[in-house]
Amino acid sequence: MTTTPVWNPQRPSPMPYHRYRPFQDRVSVPVTDRAWPAARIERAPLWVPVDLRDGNQALAEPMDTPRKRRFFDLLVAVGFKEIEVGYPSASRTDFDFVRHLADGGVVPDDVTPVVFTPARADLIDRTFDAIEGLSRAVVHLYIATSPVWREVVLGRGRAEVWRTVRGAAEHMARRAGDAPGVRFQFSPETFNLTEPDFVLELCDGLTQLWDASPDRPVTHNLPATVEIATPNVYADQIEYAHRNLARRDSVILSVHPHNDRGTGVACAELAVLAGAQRVEGCLFGNGERTGNVDLVTLALNLYAQGVDPMVDLGDIDAVRDTVEHCNRLPVHPRHPYAGDLVHTAFSGTHQDAIGKGLAEHARRARESGVAEAQAPWSVPYLPIDPADVGRSYEAVIRVNSQSGKGGVAYLLRTHHGIDLPARMRADFARVVQEATDDSGREATPKELYELFRATYLTDGAAVRLHDWSAREEAPGVHRFVCTLEAGDRVGDHEGTGAGPLTAFVDALAGAGVAVEVLDFTEDGTAAFAECRVGGVTAWGAGTGPSAAVHAVLSAVNRAVR
Ligand SMILES: CC(=O)SCCNC(=O)CCNC(=O)[C@H](O)C(C)(C)COP(=O)(O)OP(=O)(O)OC[C@H]1O[C@@H](n2cnc3c(N)ncnc32)[C@H](O)[C@@H]1OP(=O)(O)O
Ligand SMILES: CC(C)C(=O)C(=O)O
Ligand SMILES: [Mg+2]
């Protein structure tokens, strides 16, 4: 018996967890000397989007032909080569769409549509009627095979299920005749709960019956119809099938993970490590219940490993817009790669790291003479360059009360060309934090600039500079002449110095304002000065032709305020 360690104060849950059984009590998973843990994914599997069938059957409002057509065109444009287009015997809408594809000549030569059918002769006939005229198609037969589904849903034992499958497969073979463009697919629905020997019996029986060959392979698609276990278990199940399926070179081993445990992506990836060659899923993970595995995430996960995903997701927002329109479902803002917020940092240390990383990336690219968009990527907190999926850097850093000086400085620089000196950043970040703490909201780049302007770009009221001029009288000797208003005293003053700024400081001293300039920098857009007046230190800034003078005046006024 395990005892709870003292450092763990958790209490037993009152929820009735005893009602559920672990996977090992529900299905036997043959123990293998697993190869998948040490395998690597070095190329993309064949991706097969099933949005127009599995995704569609999960929608409250199934797609009509215009929506399906728009989705189909998107899938083709992204680069998918095998696309499940429907369940033609399910409804007139589905049948009509497949007819639309067949009659309209809209399927490119290198794209193969897949159509889905249950194991019933009348529905198989309807399916073949739908694909009449298509030069290529995969006809996909399914039936549930696990004990609970056999007993509760189908009311058939193993032998009866095989007889049903065999009858359906023979009927499909008859309907296909010798049409060279028709291939077959079989899915033992609820594969992950099915006895492994029964899976092999059914799949091998069909490989033989359909006389699969390397030139005309059969697809055996092994779904995690409802996820039941950790992804390593699915990987073991797939590796067992991979090693034991007959005529393996005539079989395309496919997987179809759902996402009930939230581990669909992990299941698919481990299944590919275990020998799967083809993956069915939906864009952004639409599908029954918690959805099918998300093909966009899978493809971009490969991309982020430097592996060619074999699809083009370079404009992910356009892809997302179309999918959202067709499914009438939104994509979550935290959705991997595609959500509105996934390339954005609000928190200070992340922003600091990203800002430094982007600058370092630009520097390395420049030094190696490579365009930034082609240079190797290693920016902290950003798994891929947002620009690779068509995102700008605008949304990478956003500021609220949890942000720090790095993020604030980044936004001022990138949006307004104001490059705050390193020591001034903390000063402005405090101002921003106070404002965002007060508002409880994010500060947009425009609002940040307004805050910067109001804080530093106003000359102030305590010491006012009226008419003034500065000139270099002799090399290295500057004279500053002005009218200064300090408190209730107004007077004409002048000062000299090695530069206009020191001459101005000298004039200020004449007016009784003793100023020490601790730091001064100027870039093309603005000047920044840190001054000490009467023991108080403050930063100021100025823009325009007399930026330096205004920066000092602003700092002085902020110090004496
Ligand atoms: C995991 C998956 O995604 S499977 C795909 C699920 N998708 C859909 O169901 C969408 C489309 N489906 C439909 O339009 C309809 O279900 C149809 C047209 C296929 C069949 O409709 P109906 O004849 O009204 O049957 P119904 O929808 O109630 O389906 C249940 C019947 O199908 C049987 N059945 C379930 N799966 C299969 C199968 N693969 N092959 C043959 N029969 C099956 C059930 O045993 C049940 O039979 P029973 O009536 O003798 O008990
Ligand atoms: C492939 C089919 C049967 C399916 O959608 C599933 O099992 O989830
Ligand atoms: Mg499914």
367 and 474 belong to one structural domain: no
The CA-CA-CA angle for residues 315, 317, 321, to 5°, reads 125
288 and 356 belong to one structural domain: no
Atom of ligand 1 nearest to the CA of 116: 5
Q: Which residues are annotated as a binding site for Mg(2+)?
A: 54, 256, 258, 292
Residue whose CA lies nearest to ligand 1 atom number 21: 90
Q: Are 345 and 381 a contacting pair, CB within 8 Å?
A: yes
Q: How far is CA 114 from the centre of its chain?
A: 28
Rg (CA), the chain: 34
Q: For the chain, how many structural domains are there in total?
A: 3
Asked if pLDDT for residue 66 goes beyond 80, the answer is: yes
Residue 373 is assigned to a structural domain of this protein = yes
Residue whose CA lies nearest to ligand 1 atom number 7: 57
Quickly list H helices, 333-399. Answer: 348-368
Supply the pTM of this predicted model: 0.90
As a whole number of angstroms, the distance between CA 130 and CA 90 comes to: 11
Residue 461 has a pLDDT of: 84
Residue 413 has a pLDDT of: 92
Tokens 């000299």 -> residue: 496
Residue 318 CB-half CA count within 13 A: 12
406 and 482 belong to one structural domain: no
Asked if pLDDT for residue 179 goes beyond 90, the answer is: no
- Protein residues with CB under 6 Å of any ligand 1 atom: 54, 57, 87, 89-91, 118-120, 123, 142-143, 153-154, 189, 225
Q: Which of 84, 115, 120 to mutate to test the pocket of ligand 1 (most atoms within 8 A of CB)?
A: 120
Spacing, Cα 211 to ligand 1 middle (Å): 27
Rounded (10°) angle between helices 445-456 and 405-416? 100
Residue 56 is assigned to a structural domain of this protein = yes
| pLDDT tens-digit readout, 550-559 | 999 999 999 9
Asked if pLDDT for residue 2 goes beyond 70, the answer is: no
Q: Which ligand is nearest to the CA of 281?
A: 3
Q: Are 433 and 401 a contacting pair, CB within 8 Å?
A: yes
| pLDDT tens-digit readout, 356-386 | 999 999 999 999 999 999 999 999 999 999 9
Residue whose CA lies nearest to ligand 2 atom number 5: 54
As a whole number of angstroms, the distance between CA 99 and CA 94 comes to: 9
Residue 1 has a pLDDT of: 59
Residue 67 is assigned to a structural domain of this protein = yes
Residue whose CA lies nearest to ligand 1 atom number 18: 90
157 and 83 belong to one structural domain: yes
Q: Are 405 and 348 a contacting pair, CB within 8 Å?
A: yes
- For residue 544, the enclosing domain spans 463-560
Residue whose CA lies nearest to ligand 1 atom number 13: 90
Residue 212 has a pLDDT of: 98
Q: Count CB atoms within 10 A of the CB of residue 354.
A: 23
126 and 254 belong to one structural domain: yes
Residue 4 is assigned to a structural domain of this protein = no
185 lines ligand 2 (CB under 6 A): no
Average pLDDT over residues 399-407: 92
142 lines ligand 2 (CB under 6 A): yes
Q: What sign does the CA torsion over 168, 170, 172, 174 have?
A: negative
100 and 162 belong to one structural domain: yes
As a whole number of angstroms, the distance between CA 183 and CA 216 comes to: 7
314 and 226 belong to one structural domain: yes
Q: Which token pair is 548? A: 């330096």
As a whole number of angstroms, the distance between CA 226 and CA 192 comes to: 8
Residue 2 is assigned to a structural domain of this protein = no
Residue 343 is assigned to a structural domain of this protein = no
As a whole number of angstroms, the distance between CA 306 and CA 18 comes to: 45
Candidates 517, 462, 470; CA nearest to 493 is 470
Mean pLDDT of the chain: 96
Give the residue from 272, 294, 327 where a domain finishes. Answer: 327
Residue whose CA lies nearest to ligand 2 atom number 8: 225
Q: List 115's β-bridge partners, or say none.
A: 86, 139
Q: Which of 54, 190, 203, 253 to mutate to test the pocket of ligand 2 (most atoms within 8 A of CB)?
A: 54
Q: Which token pair is 545? A: 């032709």
Residue 460 has a pLDDT of: 77
CATH number at residue 410: 1.10.287.1400
Q: Are 508 and 480 a contacting pair, CB within 8 Å?
A: no
Give the residue from 441, 476, 507 where a domain finishes. Answer: 441
187 lines ligand 2 (CB under 6 A): yes
Spacing, Cα 222 to ligand 2 middle (Å): 8
77 and 223 belong to one structural domain: yes
CATH number at residue 102: 3.20.20.70
189 lines ligand 2 (CB under 6 A): yes
Residue 15 is assigned to a structural domain of this protein = no
Dmax over Cα atoms in the chain, in whole Å?
Answer: 109
94 and 124 belong to one structural domain: yes
As a whole number of angstroms, the distance between CA 200 and CA 202 comes to: 5
437 and 468 belong to one structural domain: no
217 and 282 belong to one structural domain: yes
Residue whose CA lies nearest to ligand 1 atom number 49: 154
Burial of 142: CB neighbours in 10 Å, binned 0-12, 13-18, 19+: buried
Q: Count CB atoms within 10 A of the CB of residue 292.
A: 29
In degrees rounded to 5, what are phi and psi of residue 229? -155, 175
Q: How far is CA 531 from the centre of its chain?
A: 46
CATH number at residue 475: 3.30.160.270
Candidates 159, 140, 169; CA nearest to 198 is 159
Residue 289 has a pLDDT of: 98
Residue 91 is assigned to a structural domain of this protein = yes
| pLDDT tens-digit readout, 467-491 | 999 999 999 999 999 999 998 899 9
Spacing, Cα 184 to ligand 2 middle (Å): 15
470 and 435 belong to one structural domain: no
Average pLDDT over residues 158-177: 98
Burial of 375: CB neighbours in 10 Å, binned 0-12, 13-18, 19+: middle
Q: Which of 142, 143, 145, 267 to mutate to test the pocket of ligand 2 (most atoms within 8 A of CB)?
A: 142
In degrees rounded to 5, what are phi and psi of residue 213? -140, 165
Atom of ligand 1 nearest to the CA of 87: 11
Spacing, Cα 148 to ligand 3 middle (Å): 17
Give the residue from 441, 474, 509 where a domain finishes. Answer: 441
